[in-house]
Structure 1
């Protein structure tokens, strides 16, 4: 049975415990009975469980004439392990713990990275889970439920109120409103009538419809989104780890220095072969990549932990590198910049009377706009009155009697028999120019007020976007909503550019076009329709209140559903990645200082490093790296403010 990275790590860590105990006991001059044999057996097992894959990778890299991080691990563990066997056989000091700790520390880093990527494969499954399992299909003159896989092009399908639409098609009978926000980004329910298209997996509203299936199986919009996410997840080239780049120079240099050290001492300075080898081993031991193995995972662990406390979940190391080079941040509109649901923004006329009449009448309706009116009425503590003769007028609004008087709430067409004062006409025109939906409220034969409804920006959006622009970043809105609404919202929050009327397959294409201009692009979104764009972008940032698929597709998740989290994400990602680079510096500076000493360059001044002291210096470099990473807990993180 093949072991996972985390299983290999825990088994290796348990096998390392005897050496940890011995190291802790050394200051008390206590030696574990049979320690060398215990260390030999446990380290051999660790080499087989933890180090063998690195040895294999290092050997493949060697055959291809290059070096990587695994080359360092293979050389570090191999030299320490095989020399310790030699030392054990000749009665010398052993260094099994060096080989053991190198393998375990590096494997810990790989385990942490693997766990951060585990959720990526769940995204496609959650997309597919959105599909309904069955559909009401007309067969032999009556509707019967059949599995979705049996639905064919041309089938007539019936959908009742509240049900999901199974596949893409064209309405042939009835009318309804459909919530398409999860696919198109349109914030308001869309009215559908005969001849209009419907999209599979969107939610039917208040009417029963029949439609003709035009796209089934892999041709549906949802299936195409799945395919795009799949391609986007595999299109990113693996991040080129800084340690690998360093290794390409560092490993050959260390090997050459070790060989030169042995030759100089043995051939030119007359040292014995064993003493010359000890100098060479000291060079390789002090150059062992323990600190290099810790440089990235420790900073990542501390940085992501602190980020999580600030409501920012960073899911992979690639985001840390990519976000430092981001020049453009693109946003979805609905639920990302805006609240994500319609709210009352303006009341024209006597507010109390208008809200009382409208709230009373709309309390019997299930329409999203009606809910916004009722919530506003209740929020203003307006007393709602009993309603009789309630009636929904398709596509226009509702009518009824409130306190015995005829009333209506709805479109201008519903108010066509009522005289509209000039003041109301001017106000209605002004509100519509602001991309707000205007509802007319009538009592008796008189128009008493107007109510404007809109999906408004979150209070923090303008602040966050201003902060991003202050950092020199370009901001872009990419939305499926109409251009007028999008531009109004963009102006309110300070967005630079607007790209509206964009379908899901076009969103990822827009991101790609921005990337082709040489820009590193981050995308912020929350809906199912944002999944392809989130995975196509160099950095995908998902709102925590969004759909599971959006959260899975994003490499960074903002738990608090607040765009100020984007500023925090940028800041903490940059700080963490800069800390990784600092850690790499500390990991290497000991080698720059220690390698000449270990090679015996300063032996004439009485300054030498035996293999055991080299191992100590290596351990101290690891402590420095860990300490450097822990300091991230106190590093100031830029915030957009409250």
Structure 2
């Protein structure tokens, strides 16, 4: 819009002192052109300001979440959690707590600063941050150890190491990102701006030479008319709407409860070629539920009792589901024999859990391979039964008593409702979906087939994700992925779009270029759709703008130059009243089309998952066609209105 500003200054000078540029038109004519150009600038600035207001409103909503709180700072960092008393901490204002301090939090306390749980487990209300009313569990020693300032402890106690200084909390950083991202141009937008500047330079050169061309045919072309021609040729429409398209796209992302760290991330999502999707929690519900106890080489009652006993103190969702299934089957055991201190928790080393009874009986359950290594008696048909479960998408757990395998527990993790249709939609967009899971080959193949995914990786370690990301990128493709753990951080940072979960570790949130406050991995699918809509909106309005300029060229050239070149009158099919009325009508149209298109730029064009070639044809027909027709009709109607009002 810089050139429009310069043109406005020239018309102001023409209005004040027409002889300076050999102006031959009346003062009111130059004044009218000046006022129209001023309104054009106002409408262009209004488009960007309106979009920025939405971003500021979101930033204000985040600021409202910041509350002044107190924290219980520990005097001795090495004290054990269960030994902490009121004498071991001091209550201080939140701003006095520094990075590296240790704080104690119990039921009813507000977390005073971002940190990581180093000891304990508690239920946390994060609704102030995420909008989700369901409490979440935060505990030490895993990927769910991150706590956020301003959230409330609902149960139990925590020992927390503060990881953020004053002003550097998650909320502070998110507010800063929302406020600054709307002001930062994306790489694609910068490229588009350079292209528009190149067009403007070409048109400016052409219009300047037209004055000398007019002299050659003994025709004095007024500077004001040349300015109108330049404004008509320049892509002012898309130039005025670029910023609002970008900001509106980012605003649509925030409505999904996702914080984008830059507009580039949203654009990249629209250009993605492939997505790496985890199976558990993304494609499936992530809640493996016990479906059946399968006897292999033992008595039914013996297996059923062992299943209940081994899971009695198992607080994992799988363990609770085993207990529930046993109760549904009316399984009864002597609960006095079950002691919590004899419960054997699951470990990555043994891949088993279980319980030891007072009489010395050992009961274990775990992965089939792990239990087979542990057991001394393995019944025939165990492997075949385990394969049958895996082939149906389930997970088999073996159960053994005193190193004798009794049978299997079948766990099933169902596909999320509608996930197959969403994956198909992504593939129709041209985005390849790749599943990476730590499950075995049989389970991975079954789930991939059910979800409609052709490429999948089984028994996949999280640290292998970065190698997969680099492999895809080396083929010249853009890749997106989700993650929540510290071991996901390198791949999140390497991916073109890395969607980190708010419930994950600080390392993951720092590495990703987007953070999902709802911690829903499937949101990446929504982000892709939003990114593609942003690119489609920009492409559609650019098509309209260029077609618009072409039409105005054919409206303005014959009207302005037909007096000196009578042959041009043959293409003046619009039969406009006069060169002066054409100039005024064209500038009025140019000014009004910007606010007319603002709602479309803010809302985004309707987007459906279709091939690129089909979308291109639709764009050319709808927006290209509208851009060609609208100026002819509008300028003619405005010209007739000006004549009816007696302006000309």
Q: The TM-score by the shorter chain falls in which range?
A: 0.5 to 0.7
Which residue of 1 is the match for residue 126 of structure 2? none
| 3-state SS of paired residue (2:276) | strand
| 1:409-424 mapped onto 2 (5 Å cutoff) | 410-411=365-366, 422-423=380-381
TM-score (norm 2): 0.57
The Cα offsets for residues 82-128 of structure 1, whole Å up to 9 and x where unpaired, read as 545557994445234423332223223433554676679999xx9xx
- Does residue 397 of the first structure (1) align with residue 342 of the second (2)? no
Which residue of 2 is the match for residue 501 of structure 1? 461
| 1:19-418 mapped onto 2 (5 Å cutoff) | 70-84=1-15, 90-92=27-29, 93-111=31-49, 114=52, 137=76, 144-145=88-89, 149=98, 201=146, 238-241=187-190, 243-265=192-214, 269=218, 271=220, 276-287=222-233, 290-296=236-242, 318=264, 321-323=267-269, 325-344=271-290, 346-349=292-295, 365-373=314-322, 388-389=335-336, 390-392=338-340, 393-395=343-345, 396-398=353-355, 410-411=365-366
Which residue of 2 is the match for residue 518 of structure 1? 476
Structure-1 separation of matches of 2:311 and 2:380: 26
Q: CA deviation at 1:74?
A: 2.8
Partner residue of 1:583 out of 528, 544, 554: 544
Q: Conserved in 1, the CA contact under 8 Å of 2:481 and 2:499?
A: yes
| 3-state SS of paired residue (2:480) | strand
Q: CA deviation at 1:554?
A: 5.5
Structure-1 separation of matches of 2:411 and 2:503: 22
The Cα offsets for residues 462-494 of structure 1, whole Å up to 9 and x where unpaired, read as 444455446654433467x57869955774542
Structure-2 separation of matches of 1:589 and 1:361: 77
The Cα offsets for residues 109-151 of structure 1, whole Å up to 9 and x where unpaired, read as 433554676679999xx9xx9xx98568565998645898575
Structure-1 separation of matches of 2:312 and 2:302: 15
Structure-2 separation of matches of 1:581 and 1:370: 57
Which residue of 1 is the match for residue 411 of structure 2? 453
Q: Conserved in 1, the CA contact under 8 Å of 2:8 and 2:38?
A: yes
CA RMSD of aligned residues (A): 6.7
Q: 1:297 to 1:159 in 2, by over 3 A?
A: closer
Structure-1 separation of matches of 2:248 and 2:184: 29
TM-score (norm 1): 0.57
| 3-state SS of paired residue (1:336) | helix
| 1:435-450 mapped onto 2 (5 Å cutoff) | 436=395, 438=397, 440=399, 450=408
| 1:612-623 mapped onto 2 (5 Å cutoff) | 613-620=582-589
Q: Which consecutive unaligned segments of at least 5 residues does structure 1 have?
A: 1-69, 180-188
Q: Conserved in 1, the CA contact under 8 Å of 2:394 and 2:412?
A: yes
Larger deviation: 465-474 or 444-453? Answer: 444-453
Q: Conserved in 2, the CA contact under 8 Å of 1:80 and 1:95?
A: yes
Q: Conserved in 1, the CA contact under 8 Å of 2:435 and 2:448?
A: no
Q: 1:289 to 1:351 in 2, by over 3 A?
A: farther
Q: Conserved in 1, the CA contact under 8 Å of 2:121 and 2:156?
A: yes
Structure-2 separation of matches of 1:601 and 1:314: 56
Structure-2 separation of matches of 1:150 and 1:563: 32
| 3-state SS of paired residue (2:476) | coil
Q: 1:80 to 1:299 in 2, by over 3 A?
A: farther
Q: CA deviation at 1:582?
A: 1.9
How many residue pairs get matched?
Answer: 524
| 3-state SS of paired residue (2:282) | coil
Structure-1 separation of matches of 2:198 and 2:492: 35
Q: 1:357 to 1:81 in 2, by over 3 A?
A: farther
Q: CA deviation at 1:354?
A: 7.8
Q: Which consecutive unaligned segments of at least 5 residues does structure 2 have?
A: 19-24, 124-136, 149-154, 346-352, 612-648
Q: CA deviation at 1:296?
A: 4.2
| 3-state SS of paired residue (2:409) | strand
Q: 1:458 to 1:620 in 2, by over 3 A?
A: same
Structure-2 separation of matches of 1:560 and 1:313: 11
Q: Conserved in 2, the CA contact under 8 Å of 1:543 and 1:561?
A: no
Structure-1 separation of matches of 2:300 and 2:548: 68
Q: 1:562 to 1:400 in 2, by over 3 A?
A: farther
